Amino acid sequence: MSKSPSLRRIQADIRELAFDPSDRYHAAPMENDMFEWHFTIRGADGTDFEGGMYHGRILLPPEYPMRPPNIIFLTPSGRFETNTKICLSFSAFHPELWQPAWGIRLILEALISFLPTPADGAIGALDWSSAERKKLAAQSVHHECPICGKIAKLLPEVKKTTDEGSSQKPSRFQKEIEELQKAQQMQHALSVEGGETKLDVCQEIIHEEAVSEEQQPESFNSVDTNFGKDDGILKGKIEKECNDDMKEEEEGDVEIICSQHSSAGENETQKQTTEANSISTKIDDEPATEQYETDVSAVDPPIIVPDQQQQQSWQSDISSSWFLSDPVLNAIILVLSMTCYLLLKKIDAVMEEIYALESE
């Protein structure tokens, strides 16, 4: 039985990662769902995320690799929200930028390179201070996934050299990652030029309140596994308030429109009342009954009984159908005439044969 193209591609990604592993990232699909992967990446050297280990999920669509995945971080980093689908140029938020040739390895290397980039107000992005990110990086090594276990055991030790420090190989996707970062900046520039929408304002409020709550010293004493849940609850409350405000505005617009319609109806009623009063005054002033009847007939059109309306519509339908069916009737008459003519000719031929037989 042949497998689907998506499953064949996923198995190719698994073999490719197993054949050429890295000490900077690790990823593997779930045992019961090949379309859900758990990944662990190491923060880049020389950044606020150096020494940190960040765990998350990659949700592949059924159309993979024709469509991009959703990416969710499970470890707090100060750059991305937890338990939230983040907006990146290689995620499901931008399918127009995705290329089917890309795979899991490019996603992991791109995530490492996107950690130090500006948040730019994207969905699921955070812009915390350098000190906060370094504290979270130190705490991240203690994160433990309920499915994968302790993430520090998933990545091997980083190989060091005496002169150059890390022996990390240059990424073969460096060009693609640079283009993705440019595309991300371009998307942000377009959104800024287009102006802030109400959703943008709600997102800014979510980020500001999340940062203000997590800036307290108590939040850095231990790794908080409910970090992302609090952000989700806060985000839901604020989005609900914004939706209520929008609903109130729409209801206000509807009330204004209804009031306009009601005022227009009142004006029309007043106009009709004025016309009726003028007609009654004119009738009272006219002594003759014939003139009264003439005025009334001039104002009010003749009333047509429903039966009369149906009869008129029926007659109009008959007349229209007559003109439409006239060519058909002509054709039928012509066919009948030709048939009668042929029958008469046949009868004449038969009679002549009979006369010939009798004469013999």
CATH code where residue 184 lies: 3.10.110.10
CB 82 within 8 A of CB 75: yes
**Is the predicted pLDDT of residue 5 greater than 50, yes or no?**
yes
CB 60 within 8 A of CB 10: yes
Residue 189 lies in a domain: yes
- pLDDT of 356: 86
Domain span at residue 35 reads 5-160+168-194
- pLDDT of 216: 43
The DSSP letter of residue 24 is S
Instruction: Report how far residue 207's alpha carbon sits from residue 189's, in angstroms, rounded to the nearest whole number.
Output: 19
Out of 18-32, 34-48, 205-219, least confident range: 205-219
Residue 277 lies in a domain: no
Residue 337 lies in a domain: yes
Nearest to 66 by CA among 32, 28, 96: 96
Q: Kindly state the average pLDDT of the residues 122-137.
A: 94
Out of 212-216, 220-224, 341-345, least confident range: 220-224
- The pTM of the full predicted model, rounded to 2 decimals, is 0.53
- pLDDT of 158: 79
Residue 50 lies in a domain: yes
Query: How far is Cα of residue 134 from the mean position of the Cα atoms in its chain?
Result: 37
User: Is 87 annotated in the active site?
Assistant: yes
Max avg pLDDT among 197-201, 221-225, 247-251: 247-251
Single residue among 179, 194, 209 that ends a domain in this structure:
194
Residue 130 lies in a domain: yes
Instruction: Report how far residue 254's alpha carbon sits from residue 201's, in angstroms, rounded to the nearest whole number.
Output: 24
More confident residue, 162 or 179: 179
**Is the predicted pLDDT of residue 244 greater than 70, yes or no?**
no
**Is the predicted pLDDT of residue 320 greater than 60, yes or no?**
no
DSSP per residue, 150-203: EGGGTSPPPPEETTTEE-PPPPTTHHHHHHHHHHHHHHHHHHHHH---HHHHHH
Residue 261 lies in a domain: no
CB 87 within 8 A of CB 66: no
Instruction: Look up tokens 């009668």; give the residue.
Output: 340
- pLDDT of 29: 96
- pLDDT of 276: 55
Domain count, the chain: 2
Residue 227 lies in a domain: no
Instruction: Report how far residue 60's alpha carbon sits from residue 92's, in angstroms, rounded to the nearest whole number.
Output: 9
- Pick the catalytic residue: 87, 202, 242, 258? 87
Instruction: Report how far residue 119's alpha carbon sits from residue 78's, in angstroms, rounded to the nearest whole number.
Output: 10
Instruction: Look up tokens 């960040």; give the residue.
Output: 54
**Is the predicted pLDDT of residue 25 greater than 80, yes or no?**
yes
- pLDDT of 281: 53
> Beta strands of the chain (E only): which ranges?
25-29, 36-42, 53-59, 70-73, 144-145, 149-150, 160-161, 165-166
